[in-house]
Amino acid sequence: MSRPRRSALFLPASNPRAIAKARGLDCDAVILDLEDAVAPDAKAEARAAAVEAVRQGDWGHREIVVRVNAVETEWGATDLAALVGSGIDAVLLPKLSSPDTLAQARGALGDRPALWAMIETPRGVLDLPRIVDAGQGLAVLVAGTNDLAKELRCRPGPDRTALLPALSHIVIAGRAAGLMVLDGVSNVIGDPDAVEAECRQGRDLGFDGKSLIHPSQIDPANRVFSPDEAEVEWARKIVAAFEGEERGVIRLDGQMVERLHLADADRVLKIHRATRR
């Protein structure tokens, strides 16, 4: 199983205090941002700061990702060149709308690191089958809900109804290619109940975790995207019941349980073990 990615926190790479604080936060991934969170005249400084933050290390269990500027911008190629051999875990490509962009990024970076793709344009949503089939070391899809809502001119509201078709499409495409999928950010800060509700919606849609914009959102995301005690206990029962069992279907606590449930139980227990820190 891939490493857990319940909580992926965006931080401006130009903010040294935020980067220092992130080393003590319980998020699964830190995304150092060179794109939206950085003004044009601060791009070079932020790029250097991101490379230095990766070089310094001390990130513990956290996966370190850098969101570069779009490849077609004046900063994109320089961002990618600066990250070659840096030791980061992944590069996040914004506004990915074509598999050609994946190929460009891979050509610039070499064999490593892994690529993450933000799906935040109508073209990106429509071309998801081609994007996920392109390979190129693509590991994660991230829903870019704010940009997508802007491009669609829709009004998602607290229940995000207008975005649900696109979100489901991202999950379906990701699963078809064996990728992990992360829900878009919640813009709510200071209302943990609202953040938790959005996390639960994302979990129920099939997302593995959520991208975040504030440290206060980490706990709700980690809690929601971790299996609870009842799920873990049921998974253990299923695994124990199938031990030495040759049948494909058994009866357990009054329910019909198939081997497909065994595979899911194994997944739940792996997540549970990986997130007990």
Task: State how far the alpha carbon of 77 is from the alpha carbons of 71, 131, 138, in Å.
Answer: 6, 20, 18
> Is there a contact between 179 and 206 (Cβ–Cβ < 8 Å)?
no
Over residues 19-41, the mean pLDDT reads 92
Q: Quote the strand ranges of 82-151, DSSP E.
A: 90-93, 114-119, 138-143
Backbone φ and ψ for 269, nearest 5 degrees, come out as -70, -35
Backbone φ and ψ for 144, nearest 5 degrees, come out as -100, 80
User: Is 120 annotated to bind ligand?
Assistant: yes
- pTM recorded for the entire structure: 0.91
**276 has pLDDT over 80:** no
Q: What pLDDT does 277 receive? A: 67
Q: Name the CATH code of domain 7-224 (choices 3.80.10.10, 3.20.20.60, 3.40.50.300, 3.40.50.11540).
A: 3.20.20.60
Convert the pLDDT of each residue in 67-94 to its tens digit: 999 999 999 999 999 999 889 999 999 9
User: Is 67 annotated to bind ligand?
Assistant: yes
> Is there a contact between 171 and 207 (Cβ–Cβ < 8 Å)?
yes
Domain residues of the chain, as ranges?
7-224, 229-274
Convert the pLDDT of each residue in 174-229 to its tens digit: 999 999 999 999 999 999 999 999 999 999 999 999 999 999 999 999 999 998 88
Q: What pLDDT does 261 receive? A: 86
